[in-house]
Structure 1
Amino acid sequence: MSENVNNLVLEHLRAIRATQADHGERLMQIELQLSALGQQVGGLTTAVYSGKSELDELRRRVEHIERRLELKSA
């Protein structure tokens, strides 16, 4: 009887270990995907701020042209 209990405990421990290993692999995959998403967000943020900077420069140039052509008061 005691041997059956020991075998049952070992069987459960093996199942727990296998589940933990699977969770570890899945967590590693999630971390890789999260890292990739972080890099993409960083790239998008850079692109947005670059576009905003270019838009601000165009706005300044148009305002300068409007003042020079007296289309808009200073």
Structure 2
Amino acid sequence: MESEFGTVAGWTEEAVRALGPEHAVPAGCRGSGSEGALRWLADALAVRPGERVLDSGAGVGGPAGWLAAER
């Protein structure tokens, strides 16, 4: 079994390095959902610029970082 920070994380790092930092999604690790899922959640919550959102998950704040950058 491969660890979370094994082969897949390496592929992601290589892709971002090749494509550029604008293709890096702060929450792009396993368990955080895809960018599409994060966009769906932000839309469902009707988050608007200037509003505050509490990310009370158990990760490192990837979804909150994505939300701050995108909204």
Query: Taking CA–CA contacts closer than 8 Å with sequence separation of 6 or more, which of the two structures ends up with the larger relative contact order?
Result: 2
Structure 1 and Structure 2 fold alike (TM over 0.5): no
TM band (smaller chain): under 0.3
Larger Rg: 1
With the length of structure 2 as denominator, give the TM-score of the two structures: 0.24
The structure in which a higher percent of residues are helix is 1
TM-score normalized with structure 1 length: 0.23
